[in-house]
């Protein structure tokens, strides 16, 4: 598979690398040494593409959003990752990594999850492949994401509560890393976004790159050109955006838009706007931008959307932002909700709260009438219904 040009020795410019405890060195080195050869093999590609087609339901459609286009006086296309099995793009990555784990001879899968979406996607592929699955999840998150906990258990996974610190995602990550250290040979750590030590960010980006691979021929069919003028995606860790951008990263004719969650606003402490407020440091084994205090301790992020309240951002996106290769938008809870209600009424598509942050960029940037704009609709909104209903009550 083609690598991102900027990627070299585990780094995108000054971002990335593998800053890990010595005890993990052998695991990460094993992965680094083998992953590209395995992924590039015909055998792997055949199995990966077959599962994406027959199990996930790919290719996902590229839908021309007629009423939204009329409203904003431009040409808007929606890449429908919401139509994937399990309701979001995350399954593209878990399918890829589970196949890799099998080729590496691993028997035991561990993962961390915040809102439970990645936990569900991991438990799903473990059920499919008959592999043992342990998902670390903060105690606080277990309480507030009960339906996903039930899903994981029904899929056969063991959900292990992380009881230290703030009992949320970063603590679950710490516990998962501890588990990996204790099981160095038989265990595969399945990371859910373009984050973590190299080679995870680039590897996950490659698995998600199926999104822009399809976009190219789908756009060509619809517009005569495989190149849009704009691509918009939301960024938590950044995997759906990395997938939507991947095959256009070296194309100067496309403007890439990153929509991050600013929660209650970037001037409050209730925010997850890492691109604007983050500073250079190390999180989850990689050098990137993160929300930290003067002592380098992680500041708990906040967003209405559980998938976007990650305190860091993948090193690829830190690189794109730092080098002004992407346009950054900070979207508040309120702006995302407004966009969600608008697209649901106009297009009959109920988006995930995460994806609504990407949709809200339509109110932030004026697109020209002859331009084509692709919005990556990363997931469906059924999981967010309680939040939407709560909001409707307040509007009524
Ligand atoms: C998890 C999730 C995200 C955020 O993760 P990325 O790695 O930034 O893509 C976005 N949208 C949906 C629907 C998700 O479930």
Alpha helix locations (H) across the chain? 25-40, 42-51, 66-72, 90-103, 117-129, 139-144, 146-154, 169-182, 200-208, 210-223, 239-245, 274-277, 315-322, 333-347, 353-359, 385-395
Q: Is the C-beta atom of 90 inside 6 A of ligand 1?
A: yes
Catalytic annotation, pick one of 69, 79, 90, 102: 90
Strands 286-290, 11-12: parallel, antiparallel or unpaired by DSSP?
unpaired
pLDDT beyond 80 at 3: no
Cβ atoms of residues 298 and 311 within 8 Å: yes
Cβ atoms of residues 234 and 329 within 8 Å: no
Give the list of residues 6+ apart from residue 4 with CB closer than 8 angstroms, or none: 12, 202, 205, 246, 249, 316
Counting atoms of ligand 1 from 1, which one is nearest the CA of 240? 9
Is there a shared CATH topology between the 20-53+90-204 domain and the 57-87+209-395 domain? yes
Residue whose C-alpha is closest to residue 274's, from 309, 233, 325, 232: 309
Q: Is the C-beta atom of 234 inside 6 A of ligand 1?
A: yes
Q: Is 272 left (phi over 0), alpha (psi -120 to 50) or beta?
A: alpha
pLDDT beyond 90 at 309: no
- Taking residues 227-251, what's their average pLDDT? 97
Dihedral sign computed on CA atoms, order 21, 23, 26, 27: negative
Ligand 1 mean position, distance from CA 22 (Å): 30
Counting atoms of ligand 1 from 1, which one is nearest the CA of 308? 4
SS (H, E, C) 71-86: HHCCEEEEEEHHHCHH
- Taking residues 159-181, what's their average pLDDT? 93
CA distance 229 to 368: 10
The correct CATH number of 57-87+209-395 out of 3.40.50.720, 3.30.950.10, 3.40.50.1100, 3.10.129.10 is 3.40.50.1100
pLDDT beyond 90 at 319: yes
In this prediction, residue 306 carries a pLDDT of 86
Q: Catalytic site residue 112?
A: yes
**Residue 303, burial from CB neighbour count under 10 angstroms (0-12, 13-18, 19+):** buried
Q: Is the C-beta atom of 314 inside 6 A of ligand 1?
A: no
| Domain ranges, ordered by start, for the chain | 20-53+90-204, 57-87+209-395
Which range has the worst mean pLDDT, 88-97, 307-316, 336-345?
307-316
**Residue 331, burial from CB neighbour count under 10 angstroms (0-12, 13-18, 19+):** buried
pLDDT tens for 349-390 read 999 999 999 999 999 999 999 999 999 999 999 999 999 999
Catalytic annotation, pick one of 69, 286, 330, 378: 378
Counting atoms of ligand 1 from 1, which one is nearest the CA of 195? 7
Catalytic annotation, pick one of 81, 112, 214, 260: 112
CA distance 266 to 302: 11
Ligand 1 mean position, distance from CA 5 (Å): 24
In this prediction, residue 120 carries a pLDDT of 98
Ligand 1 mean position, distance from CA 82 (Å): 11
HSE-up (13 A, CA, CB side) for residue 21: 10
- Class at the top of the CATH hierarchy for domain 20-53+90-204: alpha beta
Q: Is the C-beta atom of 59 inside 6 A of ligand 1?
A: no
Q: Is the C-beta atom of 237 inside 6 A of ligand 1?
A: yes
CA distances from 61 to 221, 377, 392 (A): 12, 11, 29
- Taking residues 30-51, what's their average pLDDT? 98
CA distance 334 to 313: 22
pLDDT beyond 90 at 197: yes
Ligand 1, atom 5: closest residue by C-alpha: 236
Token pair 């001037």 is found at 267
Q: Catalytic site residue 8?
A: no
Phi, psi at 183, each rounded to 5°: -130, 65
pLDDT band at 145, cuts 50/70/90?
confident
The CA R_g of the chain, rounded to the nearest whole Å, is 19
Ligand 1 mean position, distance from CA 238 (Å): 7
pLDDT band at 77, cuts 50/70/90?
very high
pLDDT beyond 90 at 36: yes
In this prediction, residue 395 carries a pLDDT of 59
Mean pLDDT score across all residues of the chain: 95
CA distances from 277 to 265, 306, 312, 323 (A): 11, 19, 10, 16
Beta bridge partners of residue 16, listed in sequence order: 11, 287
Q: Is the C-beta atom of 305 inside 6 A of ligand 1?
A: no
Q: Catalytic site residue 90?
A: yes
pTM for the model stands at 0.97
In this prediction, residue 1 carries a pLDDT of 57
Residue whose C-alpha is closest to residue 2's, from 341, 250, 189, 200: 250
CA distance 322 to 325: 8
ω into 382 cis (within 30 of 0): no
């Amino acid at each position: 598979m083609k690598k991102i040009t900027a990627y070299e020795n585990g780094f995108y410019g000054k971002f990335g690398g593998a800053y890990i405890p010595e005890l993990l060195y052998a695991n990460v080195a094993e992965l680094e040494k083998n992953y590209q050869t395995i992924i590039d093999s015909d055998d792997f590609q055949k199995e990966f593409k077959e599962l994406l087609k027959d199990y996930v339901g790919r290719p996902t459609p590229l839908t021309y959003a007629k009423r939204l286009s009329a409203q904003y006086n431009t040409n808007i296309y929606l890449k429908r990752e919401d139509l994937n099995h399990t309701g979001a793009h995350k399954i593209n990555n878990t399918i890829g990594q589970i196949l890799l784990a099998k080729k590496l001879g691993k028997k035991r899968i561990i993962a961390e999850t915040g809102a439970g979406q990645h936990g569900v996607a991991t438990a799903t592929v473990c059920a499919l492949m008959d592999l043992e699955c342990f998902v670390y999840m903060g105690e606080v998150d277990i309480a507030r994401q009960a339906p996903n906990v039930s899903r994981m258990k029904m899929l056969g996974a063991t959900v292990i509560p992380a009881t230290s610190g703030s009992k949320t995602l970063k603590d679950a990550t710490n516990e998962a890393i501890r588990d990996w250290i204790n099981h160095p040979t038989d265990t595969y750590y399945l990371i859910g976004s373009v984050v973590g030590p190299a080679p995870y960010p680039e590897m996950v980006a490659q698995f998600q790159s199926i999104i822009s691979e399809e976009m190219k021929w789908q756009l060509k069919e619809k517009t005569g050109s495989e190149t849009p003028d704009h691509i918009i995606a939301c960024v938590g860790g950044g995997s759906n955006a990395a997938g939507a951008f991947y095959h256009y990263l070296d194309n100067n004719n496309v403007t890439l838009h990153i929509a991050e969650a600013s929660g209650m606003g970037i001037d409050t402490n209730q925010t997850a706007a890492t691109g604007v407020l983050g500073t250079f440091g190390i999180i989850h084994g990689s050098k990137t931008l993160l929300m930290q205090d003067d002592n380098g301790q992680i500041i708990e992020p906040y967003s209405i959307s559980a998938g976007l309240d990650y305190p860091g951002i993948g090193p690829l996106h830190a690189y794109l932002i730092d080098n002004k290769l992407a346009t950054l938008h900070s979207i508040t809870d309120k702006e995302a909700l407004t966009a969600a209600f608008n697209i649901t009424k106009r297009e009959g598509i109920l988006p995930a709260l995460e994806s609504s942050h990407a949709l809200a960029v339509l109110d932030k940037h004026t697109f020209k009438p002859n331009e084509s704009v692709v919005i990556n609709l990363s997931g469906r909104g059924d999981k967010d219904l309680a939040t939407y209903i709560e909001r409707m009550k307040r509007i009524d």
